[in-house]
Amino acid sequence: MIRLENIHKTFLKKHHKIEALRAINLQVDKGDIFGIIGYSGSGKSTLVRTINLLERPDKGAVYYKDVEISAFSENQLIPYRHKIGMIFQQFNLLASATVFDNIALPLRLQGIDSAAISTKVNELLVLIGLQEKKEDYPSSLSGGQKQRVAIARAIASDPEVLLCDEATSALDPQTTRTILALLQEINQRLGITIVLITHEIEVVRAICNKVAVISNGEIVEQDSVENVFAQPQSAITRELLNPSLSLHQ
């Protein structure tokens, strides 16, 4: 479904070149919950942002359903971006909008009629378990509730893929478990493929079927979660699995 071929990305910082991504090759199949794990600064957030081309690679190609979208203009990308939802660590909700209006926002931007919007948003409120909060504002919500609203907004346009950039990092362990259960339900019930960026090995262990480990802008190993966790090939993976070995504390 998603294929990255030989992706390179460099940033300029104070006249110095920083290689954020180097020779990245990655394939995410339909129905996957694909985890990308690495330490802070490893390049994982840059990597996930190349999937919807919020970051355009300097070299390499991004494919969506065997169509190379990395050569597309911004206008050509619009219909593809509707198929790829995204959620973030900090929720990015509109403070001045109610829960209902936050979820409805992408549908209104697409010109969907109000009756269809109402039906869709109310369905999503049931899915995320926040029907009673529809007229509340984000300031009155807990972190977990805010992330549920952000998830509902991201899937309101019926995307085929959901990108999650450190979506549970700001949450406590119990709330993290509930958010992961919701993501798993969305994957299984709605058939949405999920790409999940994290530095937390337990998040990958909990819901992912495949994982790629990234370090210094390079993928050091990728396989099924079962295989990678049973026989880690890289020192970074062994550190992530056993934090007592880590020098990245």
Query: What CATH code is carried by the domain that includes residue 128?
Result: 3.40.50.300
Domain limits for position 220: 2-245
Read off the pLDDT of residues 160-196 as tens digits, 9 standing for 90 and up. 999 999 888 888 999 999 999 999 999 999 999 999 9
Q: What is the pLDDT along the chain (249 residues), one digit of tens a residue?
A: 999 999 999 998 877 888 999 999 999 999 999 999 999 889 999 999 999 999 999 999 999 999 999 999 999 999 898 899 999 888 899 999 999 999 999 999 999 999 999 999 999 999 999 999 999 999 999 999 999 999 999 999 999 999 999 888 888 999 999 999 999 999 999 999 999 999 999 999 999 999 999 999 999 999 999 999 999 989 999 998 887 655 544
- In DSSP terms, 84 is beta-bridged to 161
Question: Residue 16: its pLDDT value, please?
Answer: 85
Question: Residue 244: its pLDDT value, please?
Answer: 60
Question: Residue 249: its pLDDT value, please?
Answer: 45
SS3 labels along the chain: CEEEEEEEEEEEECCEEEEEEEEEEEEECCCCEEEEECCCCCCHHHHHHHHCCCCCCCEEEEEECCEECCCCCHHHHHHHHCCEEEEECCCCCCCCCCHHHHHHHHHHHCCCCHHHHHHHHHHHHHHHCCHHHCCCCHHHCCHHHHHHHHHHHHHCCCCCEEEEECCCCCCCHHHHHHHHHHHHHHHHHHCCEEEEEECCHHHHHHHCCEEEEEECCEEEEEEEHHHHHHCCCCHHHHHHHCHHHCCCC
Question: Residue 58: its pLDDT value, please?
Answer: 95
| Total of domains in the chain | 1
